[in-house]
Chains A and B, each alone.
Chain A
Amino acid sequence: MRVPIELLVKKYKDNLFSAAFSICKNAQDAEDIVQETYLKYLKSKQDFESEQHIKAWLLRVTINQAKNIVLSFWKRNRITFQEYMQELPFETQEDSQVFDTVMSLPRKYRVVLHLFYFEDYSISEISEILQVKENTVKSQLARGRKLLKEKLKEAWNEDES
């Protein structure tokens, strides 16, 4: 199946943007990545099994591109992460603290944490999206959660499943 690009943009642009931003930490780059992802979808002649598969594919392409762009565009003129953070309309101090702490973690943990907590994917689904072993996802998730607990203390619960 194929879904019209307009619908995919409307439904998933913010999901893709958050996934990209959580990796590359830059709004301009994240938006470029989302654009490129949709362009790749338009160019792709692939037949998808369901809309959920399309979403997973879009996330995978976004994440792969974001990993690359982290290595590719250091010198672009840009708003720094701290400047951008100050513009974000967090509702509470705790939201801002959680966001900042997650973003301070090593990238490999951020990717897995984002897919798990924000996108509600299971470990096996994350393993499929990232094309890595389930054990790798498990260990990165466990390490990321441990770091969050250490840094956020009372602001982060002992982890539920």
Chain B
Amino acid sequence: MKTNREKYKDAFKVLHTSKHFHVEVESMKESRKTAFGFMAKRTLIATCIVMLSVFGVTAGNGFFAKDAQSFVLVVNAADDSTKDELHIGEKLAINPGIGGHSIGTDEYDSGYYCINIPIKFEGEHIKNIDYSVNKGGFQIVEKKGKSNIAEGNEIDVINAGQNGGGPGSEVKYYSNFTLDYNLQSSETIWINIAREGIPLSDGGDFISAEDPTIQDLEKHYQELLDGVVITCGVNFDDGTTETVDMKMGCAIDDNKNHKFTLERVN
């Protein structure tokens, strides 16, 4: 008699990728080379824009003035394919496409999320940045034994999946933390916001719904995010601080695809 494991394997062994699959994987390497070339150009252009904007502001105040300090808040896509500035009153999509976030319901049918926040502050005379969030906490993924967090309040694990890293990485959770200006890099640190145990009015049925309406989706994401605000304090070398508040949101398009958004409030 077959064991349950044998029964399961016999039932699922019929699943295979299509015969064309290997061709697409081969072409990935080529597209990767192109993408990296493209990224290099984009990075160069973006750097020039940042330098120009910083120079523009400082020049307006007198280029050598001691109090000449400003910053640009930059939002990268999780895959680094786009890079945009986020100004006060503006809203930008983050984590487009798949990857960059996990959301769902747990065994108690309450919601959870873990969303990559691909932001970076660029400017002159910035010493470090304080991060805090009004709900849940931060999931910080770094290489094992190589923490970039100068100081922070560690909290218990938030069971909400993981974004970034792998077996060679280390995951820690913070309610708030400080990150050195020069250590802001998606290659060394992934900053995710995470929360679990979020009450959902539909008890999680949304997840298995076959054809939810746009209104259903908006309601669900609103409940899930529930007024989450990320606050960053940009600390300058002279001891002054400028605070940035970013409200998390979600935009649903006509095809019912969702994109998480960051709206800069101040």
Binding site for B on A (CB under 8 A): 5-6, 9, 13-14, 17-18, 21-22, 27, 31-36, 38-40, 42-49, 53-54, 56-57, 60-61, 64-65, 67-75, 88-92, 94-96, 98-99, 102, 106-108, 113-114, 117-118, 120, 130-133, 136, 139-140, 143, 145, 148, 155-157, 159-160
Cβ-Cβ contact count across A and B, 8 Å cutoff: 173
Per-residue interface assignment for chain B, residues 24 to 53, with 1 indicating a CB less than 8 Å from any chain A CB and 0 otherwise? 110011001000000000000000000000
What residues on A are CB-neighbors of B106 within 8 Å?
A: 108, 132, 136
Q: Output the least CB separation between B246 and chain A (Å).
A: 22
B11/A96 in contact, CB under 8 A: yes
Binding site for A on B (CB under 8 A): 1, 3-5, 7-12, 14-18, 21-22, 24-25, 28-29, 32, 79, 97-99, 101-107, 143, 157, 159, 161-163, 165-169, 171, 187, 207-208, 210-212, 255-258
What residues on B are CB-neighbors of A89 within 8 Å?
A: 14
Q: Which residue of B lies closest to A88 (CB)?
A: B14
B159/A131 in contact, CB under 8 A: yes
With beta carbons under 8 angstroms apart, the residue of A38, A46, A133, A160 that contacts B25 is A38
Q: Output the least CB separation between B130 and chain A (Å).
A: 26
What residues on A are CB-neighbors of B4 within 8 Å?
A: 117, 145, 148, 156-157, 159-160
What residues on A are CB-neighbors of B187 within 8 Å?
A: 45
With beta carbons under 8 angstroms apart, the residue of B32, B104, B107, B168 that contacts A67 is B104
With beta carbons under 8 angstroms apart, the residue of B10, B12, B163, B166 that contacts A46 is B166
What residues on B are CB-neighbors of A34 within 8 Å?
A: 17, 21
B102/A91 in contact, CB under 8 A: no
Q: Output the least CB separation between B78 and chain A (Å).
A: 10
Question: With the chains together, A107 CA to B209 CA distance in Å?
Answer: 12
What residues on A are CB-neighbors of B258 within 8 Å?
A: 71-72
With beta carbons under 8 angstroms apart, the residue of A31, A136, A148 that contacts B17 is A31
What would 9 A/B residue contacts be, using CB atoms closer than 8 Å? A9-B25, A27-B18, A65-B99, A68-B101, A68-B102, A71-B258, A92-B10, A118-B9, A160-B5
